[in-house]
Amino acid sequence: MKKYFLNLVAFTAITAVSAVLFSCGNDDEDDITNGIDDGNGQTSYLQIPATTAEATALVNAIYRPLQTLSSSYTFLLESATETTISFEEADDTRDGPQVSIFETVPSNWYPIKVFNRLYQSISATNLAIESIAASELDDNVKKPNIARARFIRGYNYFQLVQLFGEVPLILSVTPTDEERTTRRSIEDVYNQIVKDLTEDIGHLPEFATQKSNPTQLAAKTILSKVYLTWGQKPLTQSEVEAIKTSRTDPAKPPVDDAKLQEALKLANEVIASGRYSLLDNFNEIWGVINENNSEVIFSIQHHGDGVDAQGNHQTHCGFTWPKQAERDPHLSFADIYYEEFLSPHDSRRLYSFVTEVSYRDVHIDVLTWPISIVRSGKWIHRSEENTNIAVENQPNSIDHIDFRLAEVYLIKAEAAFFLDLPGVALEAVNTIRARAGVEALATLTAQDLYNEWEYELSQEQKHWLNLVRWRTYIATVLTKVEQFEYYKDAYGNIDQFKQLPDAIESRFPFYNRIHKHLRGKYNNIEGRFYRFPIPLSEQRTDLGITPQNPGYSEP
């Protein structure tokens, strides 16, 4: 049974503190309802815990903003690639579709939500660290809880720097205006991430059966991805400025060998620990009944709407229930191409690229031409394993898997590949392929490596990050989208559409909308989309962070 810990009084204070992280104009202390006068005319925002339970509650509150992002990352990251379209709203000028057709702006809800909620979690982290450090609790309570908090802060800053580039580093409960609004260099942010994930790692348990709990091995996993990304020299503000209107990817520079060697070392340590294993059956990774399985390394725990800050909407956003195949999905793959993305013998195909779903052995949803479009099935609540037979209701209670062992093998493979260790890279990729039941590769090209990331981790919110890291983003979008079936002129013209085999005239608006999204992706992709815009606050006010990312209007 899932366990849920949250001190709501503590969270009220955290929310109040986070509200002023990016407030504009003066810092009105009246906004902080939980300030404490320290007797010297200064206001402290700390909540000094007197018991272990209170310290634990402060740390557990850090996760609450993150629970709201589990499905939002898909709307932001997957929709901003060639693989995915978002029909979240009927109006294509709304938030989800706007990302899908590359018309994202600072007022779009998804960058607003992701950016601000990550900083809310960072605010809660800073509160927990300082409050617990100031307490009179024993070190055996203080140190593990501070280590847990720093783990999440490092994790949050890694998300931020990948999505938005240079960002403010806010490391205290009472940041100055300059700290809140000054964008720090890529190097500064990555150094802080490494510091948070390493300095107190010894106070975390090596491993935990509840995979939402920070551990040493989870920290090493994230660090391996940090060094893999950092070692491939993320684009700086000036580099993005130079390509903001370009439809050509920036040149990939020589890698930083030392950082990739660290990524490889850490990945090997996680694999060699023996604490995790690739499940024999890929399909047994997924679903509520399989949570905390031996392949999962770190996850965000969910109990569903009404219990969480927000349930994991990966489930219902990909499907419309009950029995509404002809209703536009919030999220889907962008083309019929994905029905054949994996070979029929690849065990990942059944759950990754779903073309039909049944309920009580009755066929109900056709997710392919000429009714609808292929969806990701990793988040379906199934009544029978190794099938696409679903339960009638699709609750949003599935945990969000952030890292699993298969990704560690791919991190190892990528680090080794760019370190010119082809044998090591090939072995790691073939380990993944063996579990999928497909033949081993004899040699490994860069494209083979890139493909394996997408075969294994499709719709797990990694694809945009990969394309940006590899500097292949623009070329991938342009070359893939132009070849898609639904990009063709016939899907933009009703008379031509009616001539297509098996066409259903009443479904033309649906396929025409897909067509418009694909044309939008193709026509609008530019170098500026290597980053998302620095957004507005959740109240739609300017956060005061300058400069804006290149190519986006100032908020």
Q: DSSP for 190-245?
A: HHHHHHHHHTTGGGS-S--SSTTS--HHHHHHHHHHHHHHHTT-PPPHHHHHHHTT
Instruction: Examine residue 106 and say whether the peptide bond preceding it is cis (omega within 30 degrees of 0).
Output: no
505, with CB counted inside 10 A (0-12, 13-18, 19+), is exposed
What does the pLDDT look like over 53-74, one tens digit per residue? 999 999 999 999 999 999 999 9
Query: How many domains does one find in the chain?
Result: 1
What does the pLDDT look like over 405-417, one tens digit per residue? 999 999 999 999 9
Q: Which pair of structure tokens corresponds to residue 137?
A: 């609790």
Domain that holds residue 37: 8-76+93-248+257-275
Return the minimum-mean-pLDDT range out of 178-192, 263-277, 322-336, 444-458.
322-336
How many Cα atoms occupy the beta-carbon half-sphere of 171 within 13 Å? 13
Return the minimum-mean-pLDDT range out of 207-211, 306-310, 486-490, 545-549.
306-310
Helix (H, G, I), strand (E, B) or coil at 475: helix
- Domain-embedded: residue 171: yes
Q: Which pLDDT score, from 0 to 100, does residue 361 have?
A: 64
43 phi/psi in degrees, rounded to 5: -100, 130
pTM: predicted TM-score of the whole model, two decimal places: 0.93
- Domain-embedded: residue 520: no
- Domain-embedded: residue 395: no
**35, pLDDT greater than 60:** no
> Any residues with CB less than 8 A from the CB of 272 and at least 6 apart, and which?
none
Alpha-carbon span 298 to 215, nearest angstrom: 9
- Domain-embedded: residue 193: yes
- Domain-embedded: residue 282: no
Alpha-carbon span 310 to 206, nearest angstrom: 29
Q: Which pLDDT score, from 0 to 100, does residue 177 have?
A: 95
What does the pLDDT look like over 339-396, one tens digit per residue? 999 999 999 999 999 998 887 666 678 899 999 999 999 988 888 888 888 777 777 8
Of all helices (H) and strands (E), which one includes residue 329?
A: none
Alpha-carbon span 212 to 494, nearest angstrom: 50
What does the pLDDT look like over 125-158, one tens digit per residue? 999 999 999 999 999 999 999 999 999 999 999 9
CATH code of residue 18: 1.25.40.390
- The angle, 0 to 180 degrees and rounded to 10, between the axes of the packed helices 216-230 and 405-418 is 30
> Any residues with CB less than 8 A from the CB of 537 and at least 6 apart, and which?
22, 112, 116, 543
What does the pLDDT look like over 441-483, one tens digit per residue? 999 999 999 999 999 999 999 999 999 999 999 999 999 999 9
- Domain-embedded: residue 114: yes
Q: Which pair of structure tokens corresponds to residue 499?
A: 């001539």
**501, pLDDT greater than 80:** yes
Of all helices (H) and strands (E), which one includes residue 86?
A: strand 84-86
- Domain-embedded: residue 353: no
- Domain-embedded: residue 87: no
Extract the runs of DSSP E, i.e. beta strands, from 288-415: 296-300, 331-333, 356-359, 362-366, 400-404
Cα 389 to chain center, whole Å? 27
Number of residues that this document lists for the chain: 555
pLDDT band at 555 (very low <50, low <70, confident <90, very high): low
Alpha-carbon span 414 to 534, nearest angstrom: 30
Residue carrying the six token digits 């007197």: 50
Q: Which pLDDT score, from 0 to 100, does residue 381 have?
A: 84
What does the pLDDT look like over 73-127, one tens digit per residue? 999 999 999 999 999 888 898 899 999 999 999 999 999 999 999 999 999 999 9
Taking Cα atoms as reference points, which of 16, 53, 200 lies closest to residue 135?
Answer: 53
- Which letter does DSSP use for residue 249 in this model? P
